[in-house]
Every structure is written in structure tokens, then in C-alpha cells.
């Protein structure tokens, strides 16, 4: 896999309407899989990375690495939103800070645009 530019950002996770519909239909439903395989970035962050809607991005945190499709969202620059789901869980903090809940917000991450290569 080859990469284009990268930025350091803050990862937040949460629910979306489509993710919620997907949960109701089943986590193996197309709606759920499609929604949880996408991330939202600000138009400014997408421009800095040279990305357009539907391009692939790799997001890495201290807990893991995942590849997603990106789409523009109403977010501040250098913030990435990932809908709750298995891909997001691979990126969230694995410490609970005594609460019993892992960290789902404010996670430092790196975003890199992925260049598709023919194999």
C-alpha cells in the first residue's frame, strides 16, 4: 500500500442515523457495514490530504490501524469522525481510566491518504 500526505488529528466516535438503522437490521447488514466503513473529515482536512469523497484513508492510533472510505462532514479541521462499529473499536483506547469504559473521544491519530496500486 502506498500513501499520500498525512496529518495528525483527533479521533472521535459516535452514532449516526444509518449506523443505528444498521444495528436494528443486524450488524451483518449492508447498511451497517457500509456506514461503519466510512469516516468523516472536514473539507479543509480533505483538501490538505488531496482527498475527495470516496477515497481511501488509513487511520492509526496507539491501539490499531484501519482503512476506511472518506466523506466530507461538518467537522473542525483535524478532527476525524468514525461511526461506532468494529473498525472504530480497533482504534479506540484500550484503557478505561478506572471507569470500565474505553475512551471513544479525543484520541490522537494519524490520517494518511491511500493510493490504490495494481497488484
Beta strands in 42-91 (DSSP E): 56-60, 65-72, 79-83
Q: Can you give the pTM of this predicted structure?
A: 0.81
3-state secondary structure 33-45: HHHHCEEEECHHH
Whether the Cβ atoms of residue 75 and residue 81 lie closer than 8 Å to each other: yes
> 30-55 b/e with 16+ CB inside 10 Å = b?
ebbeebbbbbbbbeebbebbebeeeb
Whether the Cβ atoms of residue 70 and residue 4 lie closer than 8 Å to each other: no
State how beta strands 65-72 and 2-14 pair. unpaired
- What confidence tens digit (pLDDT) does each residue in 18-59 have? 665 555 566 676 777 777 789 999 999 999 999 999 999 999
**6: domain range?**
2-115
Q: For the chain, what is the domain count?
A: 1
User: What's the CA gap between 80 and 87, in Å, rounded?
Assistant: 14
- What confidence tens digit (pLDDT) does each residue in 55-112 have? 999 999 998 999 999 999 999 999 999 988 778 778 886 665 666 655 567 889 999 9
Amino acid at each position: 500500500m502506498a500513501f499520500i500526505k498525512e496529518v495528525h488529528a483527533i479521533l472521535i466516535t459516535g452514532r449516526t442515523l444509518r449506523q443505528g438503522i444498521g444495528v436494528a437490521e443486524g450488524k451483518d447488514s449492508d447498511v451497517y457495514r457500509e456506514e461503519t466503513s466510512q469516516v468523516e473529515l472536514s473539507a479543509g482536512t480533505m483538501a490538505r490530504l488531496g482527498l475527495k469523497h470516496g477515497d481511501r484513508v488509513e487511520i492509526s492510533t496507539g491501539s490499531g490501524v484501519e482503512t476506511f472510505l472518506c466523506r466530507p462532514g461538518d467537522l473542525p479541521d483535524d478532527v476525524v469522525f468514525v461511526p461506532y462499529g468494529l473498525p472504530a473499536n480497533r482504534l479506540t483506547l484500550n484503557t478505561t481510566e478506572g471507569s470500565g469504559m474505553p475512551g471513544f473521544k479525543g484520541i490522537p491519530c494519524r490520517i494518511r491518504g491511500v493510493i490504490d496500486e495494481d497488484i
